[in-house]
Chains A and B, each alone.
Chain A
């Protein structure tokens, strides 16, 4: 591991997320090995690496889906898994996440996009909301703005069943954006999309960064990483082998394996192809 990789987590990350020496596995299989990585607000970090290298697991750990076997995930200056459940919930609610699949709820677009706002309300407000729905339902401003960001403000009242795959993913992005998170974690958000929908999502990612949101994008699309990211983290077999500014990582990576991956010579992880 190069010095440049280690220096990242020791930087002060205001209102972002920092993973420090995180190792994790499922059953007896190790997936991540001593990952240290920080994500600041207002930057786009691309996490790249071959399929099966642990990118999704890393994002799920950053989103506090489950505690790491070793190491810490710090948000708001504290280890989220040392915090009370209430504090952890508050920390989680500063994060938005979009998955490879849209994973939309079987209801209207606006109810999907307003879900994050809905769960942040107390129960009295929620009951009042359910009551007012009986007499008609409007689209709130944050929901409209989030849908406008992905160019879908006109489908707010439609059910998600009427959407194409690309539109569904754009709705999933708007859903994560609607409650104004500090951090967005995107797991291969455009891998199943056509170029037009990919362009819309990439524009929306740029808009989010400009609004001060820290965005981590796991992708195996080198061109996308180069187009979008301020920094790039290269993962291989569960380890971070390179972290740095996009231009340097793509032009002059320290680690020869990162070079091979960027050049398209390293596609599979060691576990998959005995590389």
Chain B
């Protein structure tokens, strides 16, 4: 599903001035990995934010501290940890995930989840208690109250998802470690993303291409911002 959307979104790049297939495949890998990671992060982050925000349980403060700490996780450390997990000796070694997009998704998931959870936590706990009371008083179940809370906090949550996407798509260290920055023999990217390609092209002195890739990265982030701004009716 994500793959099909990304493929459609990158169609206009077919006529790119140089090495169009190479650039197009890099954009595809970047978007596929980051959007999948952020989608999975969001699915985990929202229930966690609701749980930590509203449930009383031992260790709640510790959980908040861990989320806040996770926002500043060094990406190379995450890359190392994921590499250990997916390496032949690691617990996920049997799945043969080293230097795959799936491993890159895992590392970006780890990086994006604390950001989305932390910002969503602030957003949902900022929802007026009276609105939650109203949902309950009107016959809502606990799930209905939670849904109302998420809906009321939607702009804050969207900001969190955007921040998570920004963290994921602009990240270099961990995807380089677990992905390996690989391009196939035909010149199409396999685990090469915009950031790792920029790093490689700059090192090889192909500054023009590096700058173009950088511009694409910026445009993508701007596009996502514009979409979220539009959805939020300009309130973000």
Q: Tell me the A residues contacting B by CB distance below 8 Å.
A: 63, 65, 89, 92-93, 95-97, 99, 101, 103-107, 115-116, 119-120, 172, 175-176, 179
B73–chain A nearest beta-carbon distance, Å:
33
Partner of A103 from the list B128, B139, B151 (CB cut-off 8 Å) is B128
A176 touches B139 (CB 8 A): no
* CB contact between A101 and one of B130, B135, B138 (< 8 Å): that residue: B130
Instruction: Compute how far the CA of A103 lies from the CA of B131 in the bound complex, rounded to whole angstroms.
Output: 5
Chain B contacts to A: CB under 8 angstroms:
128, 130-131, 133-141, 144, 148, 151-152
Are B130 and A92 within 8 A (Cβ)?
Answer: no
Which residue in B137, B139, B148 is a CB contact (below 8 Å) of A105? B148
Taking the nearest CB of chain B, how far is it from the CB of A135, in angstroms?
Answer: 19
A43 → chain B closest CB, angstroms = 21
B136, B137, B141: most-surrounded residue (chain A CB, <10 A): B137
12 further contact pairs, Cβ within 8 A, besides A97-B137, A176-B137: A65-B137, A95-B137, A96-B137, A99-B130, A103-B131, A103-B134, A105-B148, A105-B152, A116-B138, A119-B140, A179-B138, A179-B139
Distance (whole angstroms) from the CB of A55 to the closest CB of chain B: 16
- How many residue pairs, one in A and one in B, have C-beta atoms under 8 Å apart? 54
List 20 A–B pairs whose Cβ atoms lie within 8 Å, in order of A's numbering: A63-B137, A65-B137, A89-B141, A95-B137, A96-B137, A96-B138, A99-B133, A99-B137, A103-B128, A103-B134, A105-B135, A106-B151, A106-B152, A115-B135, A116-B138, A119-B135, A119-B140, A175-B134, A176-B137, A179-B138
Whole-angstrom distance between the alpha carbons of A106 and B153 in the complex?
Answer: 10
Q: Which residues from chain B contact A89 at a C-beta distance below 8 Å?
A: 139, 141
Residues of chain A contacted by B135 (CB below 8 angstroms): 105, 115, 119
The verdict on A119 contacting B144 (CB below 8 Å), with A63-B137, A99-B130, A101-B130 known, is yes
Query: A69 to B233, alpha carbons, bound, how many Å?
Result: 46
Which chain B residue lies CB-closest to A123? B143
Alpha-carbon gap, A99 to B128, bound state (A):
13
CA A99 to CA B148, docked complex, whole Å: 17
Partner of B138, one of A65, A106, A107, A176: A176
Distance A96 CA – B135 CA, assembled complex (angstroms): 11
Whether A103 contacts B130 by the Cβ 8 Å rule is yes
Q: Which chain B residue shows the least CB distance to A59?
A: B137
Note all chain B residues with C-beta closer than 8 A to A104: 131, 134
Chain B positions within 8 Å of A175 at CB level = 134, 138
Please give, as numbers and ranges, the residues of chain A lying within 8 Å of B151 by CB-CB distance: 105-107
In the complex, are the beta carbons of A93 and B130 less than 8 A apart? no
Give min CB distance, A108 to chain B, whole Å: 13
Instruction: Say whether B133 contacts A105, CB under 8 Å.
Output: no
- What B residues does A97 contact at CB under 8 A? 134, 137-138
Shortest A119–chain B CB gap in Å is: 5
Instruction: Output the least CB separation between A71 and chain B (Å).
Output: 21
Measured between C-beta atoms, what is the minimum distance from B150 to chain A in Å?
12
Q: Is the CB of A105 within 8 A of B134?
A: yes
Tell me the bound Cα distance from A247 to B89 in angstroms.
85
Residues of A near B140 (CB, < 8 A) are 115, 119
Smallest Cβ-Cβ distance to A95: which chain B residue: B137
CA–CA, A120 and B135, complex, Å = 12
Give me the 3 closest cross-chain CB pairs, A-B, nearest first.
Answer: A103-B130, A97-B137, A93-B139
A65 in contact with B139 given A103-B128, A105-B151, A105-B152 (CB within 8 Å): no
Inter-chain CA distance A32–B48, complex, in Å, is 36
Note all chain B residues with C-beta closer than 8 A to A115.
Answer: 135, 138, 140
By a CB distance below 8 angstroms, the chain A residues around B134 are 97, 99, 103-105, 172, 175
Give complex CA distance A96, B140 in Å. Answer: 11
Which residues from B are CB-within-8-Å of A107? Answer: 151
A109 to chain B, nearest CB (A): 14
Contacts of B137 in A (CB 8 A): 63, 65, 95-97, 99, 176
Kindly list chain B residues whose C-beta atoms are within 8 Å of the C-beta of A96: 137-138
Known: A105-B151, A106-B152. A120 touches B130 (CB 8 A): no
Complex CA gap A107/B130 in Å reads 15
Q: From residue A163, how far is it (CB to closest CB) to chain B in Å? A: 15
Residues of A within 8 A of B133 (CB): 65, 99, 103
A92 to B140, CA, bound (A): 9
**Distance between A184 CB and nearest chain B CB, rounded to angstroms:** 11
What distance in Å separates the Cβ of A118 from its nearest Cβ neighbour in chain B? 9
Chain B proximity of A133: nearest CB distance (Å): 14
Q: Are B139 and A119 in contact (CB under 8 A)?
A: yes
